[in-house]
Chains A and B, each alone.
Chain A
């Protein structure tokens, strides 16, 4: 067991964890942060995407011990003071989700994408979300949601 201390969605937490424990397992099983989900076992689907020190990571691809001392933000910490983040709002506005399982990861990745490139083209959005799989929407409205969140005109 290894002792880790980190900040998750603004709260300080400290636990003894097995070295093999993945960050996503730590979030879900130890902290009850079940908003972050697991969709695959090969780092393909991106459903578990969170922010580690402000940058998106697939939390199935990070060991909990690697997050020691870090600041982690999950989908549950994105809204501030009861106000949705613009990307969350845009996913609802543009119907960028159906079953919603990929949505936490998709939103966290979109936030990171827009941080790096505030006015991405459609192609840049599509490439920026390549690591996140969705089976419901065909991506059409996810692309629109990101366009909308960036303040750009949304294609019909």
Chain B
């Protein structure tokens, strides 16, 4: 047997905090990856979907004759050909007990509710033959009026689902006065109208598309006793549960595998019609099947994100001390309530107050059904919306009071000595230091010098103006304490599972219920285990993403993998050590009390006697000489349910140059100092921050899912949906301050979503700051040159995006996202 690794503690560099290069990379940089679409099975058939071109229509007939006669077509199936066998796509979070939730069939047989919905599936021997035949399926529709505009839909002018009688799905309310966590916001506003400042604004969170790089793909193999599904998903465990719950197949007969998954950002946190159809077809035909979407299909039918109107009322005293914040949201669910669905804006409900000491707070969110693509989680999920609203309006307050936006923030934020701090939304922030992060960010940014340059440019009337944008964000992540989820009526818990298997050769297998899709769990989790167990980084193998290996888990989203999954791992490792202790004592002929464990080794205090954990694993494998009543195993598992969320925070500073003659904007500098607690791997953290920043910046400047007035997605390809390129972006300066979380052993906080949550308002604040002296106080996202130019040269916030890059059906069409926000108003001190 292989010798075990003995690593005297004093000679070993700690793994935690080390910038280890990733274990994942070797296969990814050499093309030896297993993406779902790479899987080919003997006799495998290929699927192509027939999708509705209409946003809302009755299906009057489907003629599949020509398609069935096409070369190598095996079957053409419609919703009517399936019964309950198809199952349904579930909503796991009815945010209120009376939520209106349309049934979501993966393939409806009577009526389509958004353009892109599947009405038939073609099965053929090759993917190309399936697509050819899909063109031959003749579907007759009777078009129905479509509910497209969010505000009009909320008024029930046109119904997205006529049988439901309303588009209003659920109204979710939090009121600090009623909850006992703060005062009455109406009183605060009334008082401020008399002798303070009231700022009222309406902001638009445009519709976004997650746009992960790997298109979704699913392979179903019904061969053998177990039915296997490979899927490009973030949530193999939840998919398995939902398949069992909705298709009648016992959970024990279902194996779901998420092999290498090419990004998700919330976009693969879903149970999809495509998965359910592939499942039903594979089982019906008894043959392996594969479906891989095109990019256009992905943009059209994979769930979208954001899409809110935010009506905000902030009350303050004349000196800028905040006294109340009232938030009224309209959130577009799209055609169906997705798996998290209305829960996404609810995840923001506790965050609009952010880092500030609001005495009173009211939040109300009306979720609304429309005939657009369904919406769900997209990186940040609820918290970017909240952060945008509060960070934008704090700038408005600063402008009103006439002080620097940093001054107004500092006046109102929680001081570092006030932690732990219970907020007006009822959360307990465990740790943080906003002063320290801000001081460091200012230093990196050269804040005072840039302010001086801004002043100089204004005074000289430069056509290119400089704006500085601030975002002092926090977020709640690490989803989630199961009890809290229960109180919120969520359909599952928020725990995570891990197990540690001590192999006879001294190697260590770690199984996690988290399901990575680019995050680097194999590396970071190896570092945690290497340190805690005292074994070599290289000797740890992290397994995940296959329900047959990782039988229990709740997957990866909500910046939870490290803070929840990592803590489960810590506890499993600790159990291994405790299980090994009596065996070590027995083998060393010492008392358990005389043993100490460090550097992967039990040693007898005061002697040079000792045994490495790997040697104990070997002894357990042979089981020749174990104490009585001790099982021959030191493997262990742990399931951890967090006691609290955790609260990363940071200060992001952005400098934007705005050409006042053309409206063109250019990012000059972006720095951030995030406090994410203790860092396991700084290289991975930096990557998460960079990528997060660009996704948030992209919301501010480029991305928008645009529909025309017929409900057709006109940004349905990468030609029209503007993902930033290397040439559009700049390099960032990233640093950290550290306030360890007090609610997990490692003192870590989530980082996966932080950059995205923080950056959007920093950018828009900078753009607005550049032209505020020209009478502008808002520019609607994305801040295109056209909008910026219009804001400078006329009233309003730059207008909505024209619904079509080119008129598709008739000129002057396109009303999907057309309307302007309500008139903003400011009352009080300076005005």
Contact = CB atoms under 8 A, between A and B. Distances in A.
B725 A133 contact: yes
Contacts of A47: 213
Contacts of B725: 126, 129-133, 139
Interface stretch (B31-39, B620-628, B641-649, B772-780): B31-39
A37 interface: yes
B212 to A, nearest CB: 6
Contact of B21 (A38, A95, A100, A139): A95
A61 interface: no
A36 B38 CA distance: 10
Interface string B681-703: 00110110011111100000000
Residue of A42, A136, A140 most packed against chain B (CB within 10 A): A136
Interface string B711-731: 000000111000111110101
Interface stretch (A51-59, A62-70, A72-80): A72-80
Interface in A88-142: 88, 91-93, 95, 97-104, 107, 122, 125-127, 129-142
A84 interface: yes
A139 B694 contact: yes
Contacts of B215: 38-39
A45 B27 CA distance: 21
Contacts of A40: 295, 717-718
Contacts of B733: 156
B31 A74 contact: yes
Contacts of B520: 98
B72 to A, nearest CB: 13
A95 B733 CA distance: 16
Contact of B687 (A37, A104, A125, A137): A137
B807 to A, nearest CB: 20
A41 interface: yes
Interface in B516-549: 517-520
Given A91-B25, A95-B687, A98-B519, A135 B726 contact: no
Q: Counting chain B CB atoms within 10 Å of each CB, which of A20, A38, A93, A142 scores highest?
A: A38
Contact of A41 (B33, B296, B517, B755): B296
Contact of B213 (A20, A95, A99): A99
Interface in B2-61: 21-22, 24-33, 35, 37-38, 40
Interface stretch (B195-203, B261-269, B586-594): B261-269
Contact of B691 (A79, A133, A137): A137
B668 to A, nearest CB: 14
Given A101-B263, A139-B694, A126 B687 contact: no
B175 interface: no
Contacts of B295: 39-42, 45
B214 interface: yes
Interface residues of B, number: 57
Given A45-B295, A95-B21, A133-B213, A35 B31 contact: yes
A134 B698 CA distance: 13
A140 B691 CA distance: 8
Contact of B717 (A41, A126, A130, A137): A41
Contacts of B35: 34, 37, 101
Interface in B59-85: none
| Residue from B22, B33, B692, B723 having most chain A Cβ neighbours under 10 A | B33
Interface string B435-451: 00000000000000000
Nearest to B260: A100
Contacts of A103: 28-29
A135 B265 contact: yes
Nearest to A137: B691
A76 B31 contact: yes
Given A39-B295, A42-B295, A142-B726, A100 B691 contact: no
Interface in B356-398: none
A23 interface: no
Contacts of B718: 40, 42, 44-45, 133
B346 interface: no
B719 A42 contact: yes
Nearest to A107: B29
Contacts of A132: 725-726
Given A42-B719, A95-B686, A136 B38 contact: no
A155 interface: yes
B294 interface: yes
B211 interface: yes
B732 interface: yes
B517 to A, nearest CB: 6
A8 interface: no
Contacts of B726: 125-127, 129-130, 132, 134, 139, 142-143
Given A133-B213, A138-B732, 4 more contacts: A44-B718, A100-B27, A136-B691, A139-B694
Q: Which 5 A-B pairs have the closest CB atoms?
A: A35-B31, A99-B518, A101-B262, A100-B28, A138-B694
Interface of B: 21-22, 24-33, 35, 37-38, 40, 128, 211-215, 260-263, 265, 294-296, 517-520, 683-684, 686-687, 690-695, 717-719, 723-727, 729, 731-733, 755
5 contacts: A42-B295, A95-B684, A101-B212, A132-B725, A140-B690
